[in-house]
Amino acid sequence: MSMLSSRSHVIVLLMLARTVAAQQPSIDQPPLWSARPDVDAFEKIENDHLAAAQRAIDQIDATKGSRTIDNTLAPYDEAIRQLNAANYFADLMQELHPDESFRNRATAMTTKVSNASTALSLNRDVYHALASLDVSKSDAATRYYVRRQLLEFRLAGVNKDDATRAKLKKLQDQLTTELSTFERNISDDTRTVQVTDVRELDGLPQDFVDSHKRGSDGKISITTNYPDLFPVLQYAKNDDIRRRLWSAWVSRAYPKNRTVLRHIMQMRRDIAGLLGYSSWADYNAADKMIGSGSNIAKFISQLDAATRPPAKREFATLLAEKRKTNPAATQITTYENWRLNELVRRSQYDFDSESIRPYLPYAAVKQGILDTAASLFHVSFRQEMNAPGWDPSVETWDVIESGQMTGRFYLDMHPRPGKYSHDAMAQVLDGIRGKQLPEAALMCNFPEPTATDPGLMSYDDVVTFFHEFGHLMHHILGGQQQWAGISGLTMEADFVEAPSQMLEEWMHSPQVLASFAHQYQTGEPIPAELVARMNRASAFGRASSIALQNALSAISYDIYKSKPADVALDATTLRDLSHYTLSVPSAADGHLYASFGHLGGYSSAYYTYMWDKVIAEDFFQQFDQTNLLAGDTPMRYRRLVLEPGGSMSANDLVKDFLGRPQNTKAFQQWMGEEFADTRQNE
């Protein structure tokens, strides 16, 4: 390849950054804390934030005479800044502090902070003060900020009469309780399938078989937890064990959550009605990119049309695979998809995901992720030794641009007892231009290198790392605003995943991977041929999985789009699964809503994942496909998509970057990629 490798690209940028070491004033960002404080010091920091927020709110109330940006919006934003700082810090300590009693006190603090935030969102005096602001002479970002805050106030019901507000408050409180019951019913209901004959586990990896010993009753128990579920669905040769485990999995929290979900649907419908919306889906969409419930329906059917042709081609391949052992087969039942996909990947793509791990030792991956991000976003990173984190293993890094520090992040990357157990990005401070630098943290659970173990990562971990790092960069690069309330990731909730889903594509690039993925013993860069084989294998099954996601989006919408009395939960679930996927659901699949946790938090907005994937692929096609780090697109993307943060509508920044609204063309190309690649090879 004749292009600059990403690594040398980074070096050039670092040198440039050094030579223009600027004289501009910079913020001297104090460390989050000067030393690792005890829990009393933590609580004092938190209470100081809450007191400062209250002082700012009092200042708005005390103002007489005409409302100005200075006497109203500025203290309002100060209250937001203080509440967010308190909220982020308490959350972070609740998830990450090594000491359990510290974590528990942090949990209590999150409730205290959340109550203060709720009180502000229902503060009528503050709403009226903001509503009477004349922003006609303000800049566009300030106008947008005020307009959006007023919408959020109205969606909370702040401008309704006392009786309505009392009803809303009661409904919200009940809803909170029912939602946590819905979630707890799911997490509490791990089901088990018993195996008497070990031959039923044929096909599963030996370490799986070894770790599932017979119990005192002589039976082997397989649970519905992911580490059991997916290997069984994928590898077990025995059809019966796969079918039984799948049925157990889709039946979790059933029938308990049937009643709970009915209550949730009714309360949400009532809330929407009191606020003047004809359905919960419409109400929930009001502050999002998509705008209305009918647009959700439109998006789902558009995506369905785009997905059907490639899904049909995949279906034909899967059915041919099934006919190898069952020549008369004409259909595929939902649970069979995992097994058939695995068989197709093996027989047609010759790819074993274990073969890639030796190229992915943690330390090299971390450096590679930092180098790739530095090159793409035109910044550099410097480890900060004088700003300690909450655990000795936490690294603190500064983001440097033109010699100036523009943000800070913390890397808490390996498992610890009691630590948050998934992978995520967390905000730490909102960035405010000239006042406060943005800070964020990654909380992950990747393998930890030791003296004898290089900490080999799975390929999926690497993709996740860059995805989460993308959220972090978005928060920091979008964190140079005038106001905390429009800083970083404060944009519409159905846009937040688009930039990070786009970045996942960088980790599929043979060129980007070869810049850091070197075999840990020999130092050999990962062969482009292996990456190509991996990409082809992972592309197979895309359309079928999108079809399933689309079915779930439709279920999420259909459950909240009309009067709860008109929705038959089992029938709606079965109808959407049959309509959007090419597989045949079994009767048990009709209970799936009971364990579909997103029906709680996301409610009607499960479409978000696919909506953002469509935008992500459209964005991605704007980059130079022969060198993803080259040209001026990365900088244009940074300027037009990331830097605005929440200072303008996401629909507008999409249009600014693409020159038009997003469409599904690139997404369709992405779904059909595997077939294009296969043809090239034949």
Q: Which residues form the interface with Zn ion (CB under 5 A)?
A: 497, 500
What's the closest the beta carbon of residue 471 comes to Zn ion, in angstroms? Answer: 6
Is the CB of 300 or the CB of 442 nearer to Zn ion?
A: 442
Is the CB of 424 or the CB of 568 nearer to Zn ion?
A: 424
Enumerate residues 6+ apart whose C-beta is below 8 A from 399: 379, 380, 381, 405, 406, 407, 408, 409, 476
Give a three-class secondary structure readout of 335-391: CHHHHHHHHHHHHHHCCCHHHHHHHCEHHHHHHHHHHHHHHHHCCEEEECCCCCCCC
The answer to whether residues 658 and 618 touch, using CB atoms and an 8 Å cutoff, is: yes
Is the CB of 78 or the CB of 497 nearer to Zn ion?
A: 497
What's the closest the beta carbon of residue 539 comes to Zn ion, in angstroms? Answer: 21
Is the CB of 341 or the CB of 500 nearer to Zn ion?
A: 500
Per the omega criterion (within 30 degrees of 0), is the bond before 358 cis?
no
Rounded to whole angstroms, what are the CA distances from 248 to 188, 217, 253, 259, 337? 14, 20, 10, 19, 17
Is the CB of 185 or the CB of 500 nearer to Zn ion?
A: 500
User: How far is Cα of residue 212 from the mean position of the Cα atoms in its chain?
Assistant: 32
Helix ranges (H only) for 280-335 are 280-285, 293-323
Buried b / exposed e over 332-371, threshold 16 CB at 10 Å, is: bbbbbbbbbbbbbbeeebebeeeebbbbbbbebbbebbbb
- For strand 424-429 and strand 439-443, is the pairing parallel, antiparallel, or unpaired? antiparallel
Is the CB of 148 or the CB of 474 nearer to Zn ion?
A: 474
What's the closest the beta carbon of residue 475 comes to Zn ion, in angstroms? Answer: 12
Is the CB of 282 or the CB of 468 nearer to Zn ion?
A: 468
Question: How many other C-beta atoms can be found within 10 angstroms of the C-beta atom of residue 134?
Answer: 11
Eight-class DSSP state of 289: S
Residue nearest to Zn ion (CB): 500
What's the closest the beta carbon of residue 39 comes to Zn ion, in angstroms? Answer: 30
What's the closest the beta carbon of residue 496 comes to Zn ion, in angstroms? Answer: 7
What's the closest the beta carbon of residue 392 comes to Zn ion, in angstroms? Answer: 28
What's the closest the beta carbon of residue 652 comes to Zn ion, in angstroms? Answer: 22
What's the closest the beta carbon of residue 335 comes to Zn ion, in angstroms? Answer: 27
Is the CB of 466 or the CB of 637 nearer to Zn ion?
A: 466
Is the CB of 200 or the CB of 497 nearer to Zn ion?
A: 497
Is the CB of 82 or the CB of 500 nearer to Zn ion?
A: 500
The answer to whether residues 611 and 658 touch, using CB atoms and an 8 Å cutoff, is: no
Look up residue 481 and give its two tokens: 């605003």
- In angstroms, rounded to a whole number, what is the distance separating the alpha carbons of residues 64 and 43? 34
What's the closest the beta carbon of residue 494 comes to Zn ion, in angstroms? Answer: 13
What phi and psi values does residue 525 have, to the nearest 5 degrees? -65, 150
What's the closest the beta carbon of residue 95 comes to Zn ion, in angstroms? Answer: 16
- In angstroms, rounded to a whole number, what is the distance separating the alpha carbons of residues 531 and 535? 6
